[in-house]
Structure 1
């Protein structure tokens, strides 16, 4: 069970990192990024920042490299905002949830378009013929 303190720290880290990415990072590799959520370890020394990147896999990997190279800058922003003994070390990971949901929606729409007719319509057309 995660403590309330850790959850509040994770939310504060998410806010600080997302605003810094949006307004302060000038790295051209870091674009079209959304911070989805943050996982903080119980001792608050490490934080996994899950990001969603618009584009293909190559762009996502390139963006992760850009974020990892700017991790020190982002940690300094976190230390200014959160008053803790340790500033968490940031690790960035791609969040594939959004891409997976889009792929699943496309798959379902294809299946529903090409699927068989509902049984109610077929039975009704047979009764009209008689």
Structure 2
């Protein structure tokens, strides 16, 4: 592991810039600066931003609060990508403006699925036997 890397192998710089982009996007969406009816009527949470090593591409994971209309919200974000990219470039000081790619965040669904599996009586019984 290099000196400036996290245990996952991503550099601290990538994580820092990703967080700056996430905060900028969250702020833009929270303030309603995007003039889109769909985005105005939905609260959108930007859960994670993963930057490419050259900082030219950003994969943005989003989740509409209350989980509804995910496809419609993703489509609205993709429609307004040019505006969002320009706003992020203005707020985050990097050499190049990152191209944004919006994806639905599936981590909450995966976590719920694992939680349901662990609460299954047959699996809970096996876990109790392992603890003994």
Q: Mark yes or no: TM-score above 0.5.
A: yes
Question: What is the 5 A alignment of 1:39-58?
Answer: 39-53=50-64, 54-56=66-68
> Residue 103 of structure 1: CA displacement?
4.3
Runs of 4+ in 1 over 4 A off after TM superposition: 106-109
* CA–CA separation in structure 2 for the residues paired with 1:55 and 1:5: 31
In the alignment, the residues of structure 2 paired with residue 49 and residue 105 of structure 1 have an alpha-carbon distance, to the nearest angstrom, of: 25
User: What secondary structure is seen at the aligned counterpart in 2 of 1:43?
Assistant: coil
Aligned residues: 113
In structure 2, distance between residues paired with 1:22 and 1:14: 12
CA distance in 1, matches of 2:116, 2:101: 31
Whichever of the two has the greater Rg, that structure is 1
Structure 2 residue ranges without an equivalent (≥5): 1-8, 126-132
Is 1:29 aligned to residue 18 of structure 2? Answer: no
Aligned residue for 1:29, secondary structure, equals: helix
Q: Which deviates the most, 84-93 or 97-106? A: 97-106
1:2 positional shift: 2.5
TM-score, L = length of structure 2: 0.73
